[in-house]
Amino acid sequence: MKLNLGCGWDRRDGYLNIDFVTEHHPDLAGDVLNLPLRSGIADEVHAQDVLEHLGRTSTEDAIKEWHRVTKAGGVARIRVPSLFHAVDIMRRAGTIDVHRTLLQNLYGTQAYTGDVHLTCFTDLTIAHAFHDAGYRELVAELVDTWLWDITAVAANGAPVAVFFGDGLSGAEGTAGASWRWSDQSCEVALINTGPESAKADVSFLVQAEHEPSGTIDVRIGDERYALQSRSTFSESIVLAPQSRTVIEMTARFGRFDVPQDPRSLYFQIVNPNVSVG
């Protein structure tokens, strides 16, 4: 069974659509904080633009409830707003329309009961909430420049999450040969929510076929690396407890222009992998 929690008007085929607002005509009327379902029933829990509608202090309770109904090995797919990214966009924007739109996005339309946002998230806070609830293998993608799309698994494992952030497009290709395009600069954050240090083995290939002799700078805290195009980065990184470690990458060459592609394409990160011992 797949659950679409807080579905609103986004009723999905193949899912049990659940919402407390009966005007949305859900398959099941219910409270996402107290689901009328038995434990371990769901292969997938989907909740897009839901958590921000709950009180700030209810975030952990909600995710624990969703974990309760997720079977072992099941997946949660959640979308939440990123506070830092929304604020960064407003700081850079020079028009009132952009500010008004993002303020509405952050606080809800407030046009009807329930469409009010009561909280927002950082990568640290949302990773902690998922790990405290019992989810692991958390990977987050930044979409539309200010939203986190999160995938997490109800499984045992190290409390380390990976956030593919600023400057990175979504994954393309197949699992055996996947890649992400980067803007001139990009970052990947590793979040260790555990009480002890963790060692992460990080590896990926960088390539820019239009600049085969180009250089891509990599920065991790005080450490600096210079990678040639089409070379592999492979390092063990110690992650401090209860903290985030950022991998920053910057291309020292021009972009690759592709007609009709709105993205700013500089280089590819191929088969990124993070394993924690």
Q: What is the pLDDT of residue 174?
A: 87
* 277 pLDDT above the threshold of 90: no
Q: What is the pLDDT of residue 112?
A: 78
* 235 pLDDT above the threshold of 80: yes
Strands 198-207 and 231-239: antiparallel
Residue ranges of E strands in the chain: 2-5, 16-19, 28-29, 42-48, 70-81, 135-143, 147-154, 160-164, 172-174, 177-182, 185-192, 198-207, 215-220, 223-228, 231-239, 243-251, 267-276
Q: Cα–Cα distance between 173 and 177 in angstroms, integer?
A: 6
Q: What is the pLDDT of residue 188?
A: 98
- Both tokens of residue 94? 């020079």
| Residue closest to 271 by CA, chosen among 142, 146, 174 | 174
Q: Give this prediction's pTM.
A: 0.95
Q: What is the pLDDT of residue 21?
A: 87
Instruction: List, for residues 216-230, the tens digit of each pLDDT value.
Output: 999 999 999 999 999
Which value, to the nearest 10 degrees, does the dihedral of the CA atoms of residues 62, 50, 166, 154 take? Answer: 40
Q: What is the pLDDT of residue 183?
A: 97
Q: Once rounded to an integer, what is the mean pLDDT over residues 125-133? A: 98
Q: Once rounded to an integer, what is the mean pLDDT over residues 126-155? A: 97
Q: What is the pLDDT of residue 5?
A: 98
Banded model confidence at residue 38, pLDDT cuts 50, 70, 90: very high
Residue 251 vs residue 111, higher pLDDT: 251
N residues, the chain: 277
The DSSP secondary structure of 144-179, one letter per residue, reads TTTEEEEEEEES---SEEEEE-TTBPPPEEETTEEE
User: Which residue is listed with tokens 């020292």?
Assistant: 252
Q: What is the overall mean pLDDT for the chain?
A: 95
Q: Cα–Cα distance between 11 and 234 in angstroms, integer?
A: 43
Contacts of residue 37, defined as CB under 8 A and 6 or more positions apart, other chains included, come to 3, 69
* 143 pLDDT above the threshold of 90: yes
